[in-house]
Amino acid sequence: MDEIIEKVKEILPKKRFDHVVRVVDMSLKLAKIYNSDIEKVMKSAYLHDIAKFFTLEEMLDLLDKNEIENEYIAREFLHGFAGAIYAKKEFQIDDEDILNGIRYHTVGRRGMSQIEKIVYLADAIEEGRDYEGVQEIRELAYKNLDKAILMEANHKIKYLIDIGVVLHLNTVEMRNWILKVIKEEEK
């Protein structure tokens, strides 16, 4: 872990590193509540934004061009995908839970593992986040991870529609999948 922390600290500006530390803190809180693998959660959370400040060209050089549809080429989406590949190469991480936590922390995906869910949600609700409804999502996260993700996804989708940007299909599919999971659990 020390090598990962030092590399993240070296690559990221202080403000972004502080965000990463808050995501790690929130991830650990959630991992303890939901009995998740602490080491996997920590690695994924520390590395989730490792490629955030790579140039678009650097990100695209890491990616399999078939993995990302052209219409979604945007830094906001790509840094997670590029970060997972970078983490695999730089730190020899082969655990798909850890890599998928990095890969999908921004867009989510249908069928997320618990590790992926925790990192995705922690990134959205870490203590430095201050948007309307975040406190309600945080409180729900301590009680029901899936319902908190649904609330966060609904908020994110509405916000992105309101500002007129492209939605990544993964986010829409994740939202619909998690809604079905919740409805099945309630039966």
Q: What pLDDT, on the 0 to 100 scale, is given for residue 77?
A: 78
Q: What pLDDT, on the 0 to 100 scale, is given for residue 59?
A: 84
Amino acid (1-letter code) at residue 58 = E
Q: What is the largest CA-CA distance in the chain?
A: 49
Q: What is the pLDDT of residues 149-175, one digit of tens each?
A: 999 999 999 998 998 888 888 999 999
Label residues 133-143 b or e (16+ Cβ within 10 Å = b). Answer: ebeebbebbee
Q: What is the pLDDT of residues 108-127, one digit of tens each?
A: 999 999 999 999 999 999 99
Q: What pLDDT, on the 0 to 100 scale, is given for residue 164?
A: 87
Instruction: Just give the CATH number of 2-131.
Output: 1.10.3210.10
User: Residues 14-43: what's their mean pLDDT?
Assistant: 97
**Whole-number Å distance between alpha carbons of 103 and 99:** 6
Structure token pair of residue 58: 């650097």
Q: Is residue 74 pLDDT above 80, yes or no?
A: no
Q: What pLDDT, on the 0 to 100 scale, is given for residue 92?
A: 95
Give Cα separations from 10 to 5, 6, 73, 102, 170 (angstroms).
9, 6, 26, 18, 31
Q: Is residue 70 pLDDT above 80, yes or no?
A: no
